[in-house]
A and B are shown apart, each in its own frame.
Chain A
Amino acid sequence: MTVDGNYRLSQLDELEAESIHIFREVAAEFEKPVLMFSGGKDSIVMLRLAEKAFYPAKVPFPVLQVDTGYDFPEVLATRDRWVDRLGVRLHVASVEQAIKDGVVVDDGKTSRNRLQIGTLLNAIEEEGYTAAFGGGRRDEEKARAKERVYSHRDEFGQWDPKNQRPELWSLYNGRIHEGEHMRVFPLSNWTELDIWDYIRREAIDIPSIYYAHQRRVFERGGMLFTESEFNPLRDGETVTERTVRFRTVGDLTLTGCLESDADDLDKIIDEVAASRITERGATRGDDKFSEAAMEDRKKEGYF
């Protein structure tokens, strides 16, 4: 635990302690928290930290997943293993159902990723969740670099980046009004490499698609996408089998993979450390549209 035997935590232990503090603070101060689970490595690390924060008691809040209908089966399998082991309630909010109920409108042009926003906000409102944990990290993207750990959302679920509450020391202000909620980001100070180091150290169960495997893929817009009934081929696109892995996990129609031989955590960590492109830039179609794409989606109520 110590560095040089000096009553000094290693940086990974310090990050873990900070995140656990945040989980406990929210559980103590909010009436109805929920953990937003995407199936990705960051939300799984959140589950691990929540498990540690309240042990030997169970995690005192449910897990909310927005099901796009386009989720990787490997991700859903991992989710079910975690939910079973921790004994937490799983609340699935389905985009499909939200379209049927008229909560969101599928105009054929809007991505499932964007339709998640309305589905998520509706689920938060319906269940009356007052705090929602998200796996966002400040190293991911510029708009996130300026977001608070406790990020206030008005009664429309929206984020006002110009009007954020000051956040000092480790004193978090959880005051909200009726109908508002707080997004809480316990991993704010973690980097992608920290997440991988922690997954290795804690031997954390993550979806198999993060590891190199054989997959039938096609190329689109400079990225490789998985062959799928949800992702019909366009003219000129052909499917080939390659050795790939996913660096992020999301809607499979938008989440690209990379060619990689990294089939264990040591190799993945070496690959991530050597990478010269951010994980979102490398494999996320949804962040490519404009410099402020993430800021805009976050304002509307995105994760």
Chain B
Amino acid sequence: MSTETGMDLLRFATAGSVDDGKSTLIGRLLLDSKAIFEDQLESVEKTSKDKGFDYTDLALLTDGLRSEREQGITIDVAYRYFATPRRKFIIADTPGHVQYTRNMVTGASTADLGLVLVDARQGMTEQSRRHAVILSTLRVPHLVLAVNKMDLVDFSEEKFREIEAEFTAFARKLDVPDLTVIPISALQGDNVVSRSEKMDWYEGSSLLHHLEHVYIGSDREMRDVRFPVQYVVRPKSDEFHDYRGYAGQVAGGVMKPGDEVIVLPSGMTSTIEAIDSFDTQLDEAYPPMSVTVRLADDVDVSRGDMIARVNNQPEQTQDLDAMVCWMSPGVLKPRAKLLVKHTTRTVKALVKEIDYRLDVNTLHRDQEADEIGLNELGRVTLRVQQPLMVDLYEQNRVTGSFILIDPASGVTVGAGMVRG
């Protein structure tokens, strides 16, 4: 099997704790797609036995750090890989506890799909609600609710329908564009890889079939051309004496040679002369291609600039209204001085106001809040020193997102999503 042609990539995020069967489910997907190797399995079997477990703890496969194995919990985001002949998958496997919300947010930031697990015996819990809230806040376009441990409720349709109805009602409040609910038993394999015979009342596809076929082609923003200039390519060689190309990764829209474009913030206009990809010229470029754009006119363009279409521009602003997840042990307060990294531009920022703190379990907005603590989310207004070219996060996850950096320590302390 080769991964070369025709296969695309689906990134999905899962969150969960020890008890809801998440590790068993991931272990099963990896085992069944042959992404776990014999030596890895042997090592996990041996460790499980040494620890006196009755069964092989597949969580040991993903809990890679010594401190995680010692504490028996997943702390950090682990990335796992598997492929079927149709698709390659990257799983961002994150812990489910509230004190690891920042890790969940991190895993969700790049995900095309979010997988929430609930135990069929318990139905929705605070944790499953929180996962759904985080996935929808991060605008993960597809959501799957896997109702696990169906074997422990005798594969009861009634139980499943009850959970399905409760979750669907909750998801309506979250603006989830695509929700699929699947009854499974990760332990016994029902509806994981193939359809279960024990649940003939269920007419949908198995989890893996859904992951392989969910349509993600239209998820990337294809309408509004956004090209953050990352690096200026100037060979300074005899052969390419006058070459001046603007390298970057297309963040939105379809770019073509001949397009009339504007360079922001300068406002200079020009025409795309060519789009280079290594030694070939392309007819078009779209997300997430990394290309080098040449313009017909000798305009001043540097890193941090944004190329867009003249009649379709992002907003240029020094005032950001954003949903922020705070990721640092300190608190986020008004008047804090930070750095914002947005696309390829890093600027100084001042926290103007905390609008509200969002309770990720209940969706309650605490308007009285005047600070946001570690692992909390809130609506914040920031003033930045130089204009940024932004879109709403719901319209473009690249040009609508930024990270917050503490200027003294250099550490990433928060993540922000631009709101209207």
Of the candidates B77, B80, B234, B236, the one having the most CB atoms from chain A within 10 angstroms of its own CB is: B77
Contact B39 A170 (CB under 8 A): no
Segment 154-200 of A: residues with Cβ below 8 Å from B: 161-162, 164-171, 173, 175-177, 188-189, 191, 193-194, 197, 200
| Contacting residues, chain B, for A173 (C-beta < 8 A) | 341, 403, 405, 410-412
Given A7-B222, A168-B109, CB of A17 within 8 Å of CB of B40: no
Contact B37 A277 (CB under 8 A): yes
Contact B76 A164 (CB under 8 A): yes
Q: How far is the CA of A277 from the CA of B38 in the complex (A)?
A: 5
Q: How far is the CA of A144 from the CA of B415 in the complex (A)?
A: 24
Q: How far is the CA of A295 from the CA of B88 in the complex (A)?
A: 27
Against A, the Cβ 8 Å flags (1 = close, 0 = not) of B376-392 are 00000000000000000
Given A177-B410, A197-B4, CB of A7 within 8 Å of CB of B231: no
B211 located at the interface, meaning its Cβ lies under 8 Å from any Cβ of chain A in the complex: no
| Minimal Cβ-Cβ distance residue in A for B105 | A168
| Contacting residues, chain B, for A142 (C-beta < 8 A) | 61-65
* Nearest Cβ on chain B to A86's Cβ, whole angstroms: 13
Of the candidates B3, B78, B217, B276, the one having the most CB atoms from chain A within 10 angstroms of its own CB is: B3
* Nearest Cβ on chain B to A152's Cβ, whole angstroms: 8
| Minimal Cβ-Cβ distance residue in B for A196 | B2
| Minimal Cβ-Cβ distance residue in A for B397 | A169
Segment 1-40 of B: residues with Cβ below 8 Å from A: 1-9, 34, 37-40
Contact B88 A145 (CB under 8 A): no
Contact A175 B415 (CB under 8 A): no
Interface bracket on B = 35 or more
Of B43, B222, B233, the contact of A57 (CB 8 Å cutoff): B233
| Contacting residues, chain A, for B90 (C-beta < 8 A) | 189
| Contacting residues, chain A, for B292 (C-beta < 8 A) | 55
Contact A145 B217 (CB under 8 A): no
Kindly specify which of A22-30, A64-72, A116-124, A203-211 makes contact with the partner chain.
A22-30
Contact A281 B415 (CB under 8 A): no
* Nearest Cβ on chain A to B403's Cβ, whole angstroms: 5
Contact B410 A176 (CB under 8 A): yes
| Contacting residues, chain A, for B303 (C-beta < 8 A) | 28
Contact B240 A56 (CB under 8 A): yes
Question: 5 smallest A-B Cβ distances: which pairs?
Answer: A142-B64, A175-B410, A281-B39, A6-B217, A11-B9
Taking Cβ atoms with an 8 Å cutoff, the residues of B that contact A are 1-9, 34, 37-40, 43, 47, 61-67, 69, 75-81, 83, 87-88, 90, 102-103, 105-106, 109-110, 216-218, 220, 222, 230-231, 233-237, 239-240, 243, 247-249, 254, 276-279, 286, 288-290, 292, 303, 327, 339, 341-342, 344, 397-398, 401-403, 405, 410-412, 415
Q: List 14 A-B contacts (CB under 8 A).
A: A3-B7, A4-B217, A14-B288, A24-B248, A56-B239, A57-B234, A57-B240, A165-B411, A168-B412, A175-B339, A188-B79, A193-B1, A193-B3, A277-B39
Taking Cβ atoms with an 8 Å cutoff, the residues of A that contact B are 3-4, 6-18, 20-21, 24-25, 27-28, 51-58, 138-139, 141-146, 161-162, 164-171, 173, 175-177, 188-189, 191, 193-194, 197, 200-201, 269, 273, 275-278, 281-282, 291-292, 295
